[in-house]
Homo-oligomer: A and B are copies of this chain.
């Protein structure tokens, strides 16, 4: 039997592609070498959100305690939390497996490799299994990458997978790489009382974000007494006598119970026979055309094509490619604005263009308008008023929104729709925003005086 579609990788991209394809009536197989759900479910977004949810009472209590309104203590039992995480993950995987079964998608467990025209060979527990396909989707995802000297040793030097699998939370933690992954995990460790050190080679935390977002985050971290070391290169990390030892380029040494290295993630492409199948790699990313196609009948979605490393982007690409294979999508892939979110408290959300991007697009009309969270009653109610909402305009239309502060993730969908619609000054007065709400800080930013981006 020849499958209409074989998908390699069952993360948010691959799983959604298989489900969507089955919905179109395509005979589909899904190949997964590890767990259903991929990195996002098993070693990424979901476990960290369960950690953040379980510890949110600690954060809320600290904020109110600072205002002398509340006192007490919240103790989160880390082993119990880890057990709950595992139970959640296995329950979710079970539900996913049932969904596949119901839709008639064949799940083939093992490492899949392209082995000649229209063939994938899967190294299963019961030996090799060859799947023939008319179409293939590569959705093999990504894995942590390391610069030389920064490799985890699994003892005191951990990557994000190892950090999530810990049995105890360290009482001191060095995070190398101040991107969203490292900052979310550092926030959880902070809630558990760990002493935090954050190191980045760039001149600011969250270096991919608006510089003002970075400095708002930085000021919160400073209030939390984190050591934030910027423009610092790390010569090496290692375990010495059960302690993590980090050596800076200037030979200075810093120690902590654990060192978490989160300097980036790179596509999983090794040993899959891609080159032989005519799939081109560029900086280890699978090159795709405007239809997310990598070679005849071969598509690549999600982290492996390196377009954008976000689960919801992968899922959106999945739906497009499944539709395309089913003959339901003629036009090139054109996603709307893709939001990105740092969860925790403070949070960061961003969608659409940043000020510098709007400036590059059209420096004549690039403007920003901004509102502080300090004036918002919901931020006040949670005693967490640091931060702001910023709106980016181009040609008189909203082209981007970014925000930093307590609970700003809740602005994501509204901001995405506003960017998608390209609101003008007139539109701002049309929609009724509920009161009181954090949404009103977005409304206030939309209405605020605009200044030109320099």
Residues of A within 8 A of B (CB): 12, 40, 45-46, 49-50, 52-54, 56-58, 60-61, 64, 67-77, 80-81, 84, 88, 92, 95, 310-313, 315-316, 319, 335-341, 349, 375, 377-378, 380-383, 409-414, 416-418, 420-421, 429-437, 439, 442
Distance in angstroms between the alpha carbons of A313 and B430 in the assembled complex: 12
Distance in angstroms between the alpha carbons of A413 and B438 in the assembled complex: 10
- Tell me if B339 and A434 are in contact (CB < 8 A): yes
- Tell me if B69 and A431 are in contact (CB < 8 A): no
- Tell me if B418 and A437 are in contact (CB < 8 A): no
- Tell me if A53 and B432 are in contact (CB < 8 A): no
Of all chain B residues, the one with the shortest Cβ separation from A88 is B380
- Tell me if A49 and B378 are in contact (CB < 8 A): yes
- Tell me if B77 and A68 are in contact (CB < 8 A): yes
Contacts of A375 in B (CB 8 A): 95
Contacts of A316 in B (CB 8 A): 432
Contacts of A414 in B (CB 8 A): 413-414, 416-417
Contacts of A53 in B (CB 8 A): 64, 378, 380-383
- Tell me if B76 and A432 are in contact (CB < 8 A): no
Of all chain B residues, the one with the shortest Cβ separation from A409 is B437
Of all chain B residues, the one with the shortest Cβ separation from A82 is B69
Of all chain B residues, the one with the shortest Cβ separation from A337 is B432
Which 7 residue pairs of A and B lie closest in terms of their CB atoms, listed nearest first?
Answer: A53-B381, A413-B414, A57-B60, A410-B410, A312-B435, A57-B61, A72-B74
- Tell me if A54 and B76 are in contact (CB < 8 A): no
Of all chain B residues, the one with the shortest Cβ separation from A12 is B435
Of all chain B residues, the one with the shortest Cβ separation from A51 is B381
| Most-contacted residue by chain B among A57, A313, A337, A437 (CB, 10 A) | A57
Distance in angstroms between the alpha carbons of A382 and B50 in the assembled complex: 7
Q: Assuming the A-B contacts A53-B382, A413-B414, are A74 and B74 also in contact, with contact meaning beta carbons closer than 8 angstroms in the complex?
A: yes
Of all chain B residues, the one with the shortest Cβ separation from A53 is B381
Q: A49-B436, A57-B58, A69-B84 known; 13 other A-B pairs, CB under 8 Å? A: A46-B436, A54-B69, A57-B57, A64-B76, A68-B77, A69-B77, A69-B81, A95-B375, A336-B432, A409-B434, A412-B434, A416-B434, A417-B421
Q: Assuming the A-B contacts A46-B377, A57-B57, A60-B56, are A40 and B74 also in contact, with contact meaning beta carbons closer than 8 angstroms in the complex?
A: no
Q: Assuming the A-B contacts A70-B75, A73-B73, A75-B70, are A50 and B381 also in contact, with contact meaning beta carbons closer than 8 angstroms in the complex?
A: yes
Of all chain B residues, the one with the shortest Cβ separation from A314 is B435
Contacts of A70 in B (CB 8 A): 54, 57, 74-77
**Distance from A403 Cβ to chain B, minimum over Cβ atoms (Å):** 13
Distance in angstroms between the alpha carbons of A304 and B72 in the assembled complex: 44
- Tell me if A442 and B430 are in contact (CB < 8 A): no
**Distance from A275 Cβ to chain B, minimum over Cβ atoms (Å):** 31
- Tell me if A61 and B74 are in contact (CB < 8 A): yes
**Distance from A104 Cβ to chain B, minimum over Cβ atoms (Å):** 18
Distance in angstroms between the alpha carbons of A73 and B429 in the assembled complex: 45
Distance in angstroms between the alpha carbons of A313 and B432 in the assembled complex: 7
Contacts of A433 in B (CB 8 A): 312, 413, 416
Contacts of A49 in B (CB 8 A): 377-378, 381, 436
**Distance from A438 Cβ to chain B, minimum over Cβ atoms (Å):** 8
Distance in angstroms between the alpha carbons of A409 and B440 in the assembled complex: 13
Of all chain B residues, the one with the shortest Cβ separation from A406 is B53
Distance in angstroms between the alpha carbons of A154 and B385 in the assembled complex: 35
Q: Assuming the A-B contacts A49-B381, A381-B49, A429-B319, are A435 and B311 also in contact, with contact meaning beta carbons closer than 8 angstroms in the complex?
A: yes
Listed by A's residue number, 20 A-B pairs whose Cβ atoms lie within 8 Å are A45-B436, A50-B377, A50-B380, A52-B381, A54-B64, A54-B381, A57-B64, A57-B74, A70-B74, A72-B72, A73-B73, A74-B74, A312-B432, A315-B435, A319-B429, A336-B431, A339-B434, A412-B437, A413-B413, A420-B431
Of all chain B residues, the one with the shortest Cβ separation from A440 is B312
